[in-house]
Amino acid sequence: MKHYKGYLVDLDGTMYKGNQVIEGAAEFIQSLNKNDIPYLFLTNNSSKTQVDVATHLNSMGIETTPDRVFTTSMAAAKYVKSKKADARCYVIGEDGLIDAIEKENMTITDQNCDFVVFGIDRNITYEKYAKACLAIRDGATFISTNSDIAIPTERGLLPGNGALTSVITTSTNQEPIFIGKPESIIMNEAMTVLGTRAQDTIMVGDNYQTDIQAGIRAGIDTLMVFTGVTPFDAYPSLSIKPTQYVHNLKEWIPFIK
């Protein structure tokens, strides 16, 4: 079995479901910690900061630190900065996205914007949409943290960031540059932070359409676990199979060394 020097690990459906830890998840991370193998939790959730995510994981017995978390907001901020270090950004989003943009020392403004950076905003207003559309029509580059059209909650499936983003696309006829899974942008930015090469890195996740497709598009190996979105009975029909699969992450622990 191939030895991997770095792991990118999905959260919802791989580590937990809501506030319920998935069996084997804590032991899997404990094994990575014990063997000093670099890893990052990779999430399309743009609303949370690194501290928020790490605190939630630790509260469930999954021992980790904020620097082990890489969000789509962080990837978006790093991507924008790579295009223009002193970028002026009109930002629609919650704490996680604002925090990420500020940490990259870029200016958040609604005047003379270079970029419109859009993340989920559960307090979205018509005026926010109006400012974003005007900035894009005036030449600002349109960035969206992820294309998820729905997000699972205790209430059921609610509108996701992709659905909210589509309002601007419909109005301006401008498609955004999506950052999060299944796009390769978040994967490449994460590997830069992780410090590993593509051939030495593996993506671990439960959702074939996001986690596994992200790994495939980025040219890295994938480990699929059937504890979340994609059921095992869907495996035979997958057009491109994951590199490896397990029913539970406990099965993979012997290969971590």
Is-contact 257 3, C-beta < 8 A? Answer: yes
Is-contact 162 149, C-beta < 8 A? Answer: yes
Q: Has 12 been annotated as catalytic?
A: yes
- Tokens at 13, concatenated: 């459906």
Q: Has 10 been annotated as catalytic?
A: yes
Is-contact 146 170, C-beta < 8 A? Answer: no
β-pair type (20-21, 244-246)? unpaired
| CA neighbours closer than 13 Å in the CB half-sphere of residue 134 | 10
Entry field: residues in the chain:
257
Strands ordered across the beta sheet of 6-9: 69-71, 39-43, 6-9, 201-205, 221-225, 244-246
The one catalytic residue in 12, 114, 121, 221 is 12
Burial of 212: CB neighbours in 10 Å, binned 0-12, 13-18, 19+: buried
The C-alpha torsion from 99 through 102 and 106 to 111, rounded to 10°, is: 70
Residues serving a catalytic function are 10, 12
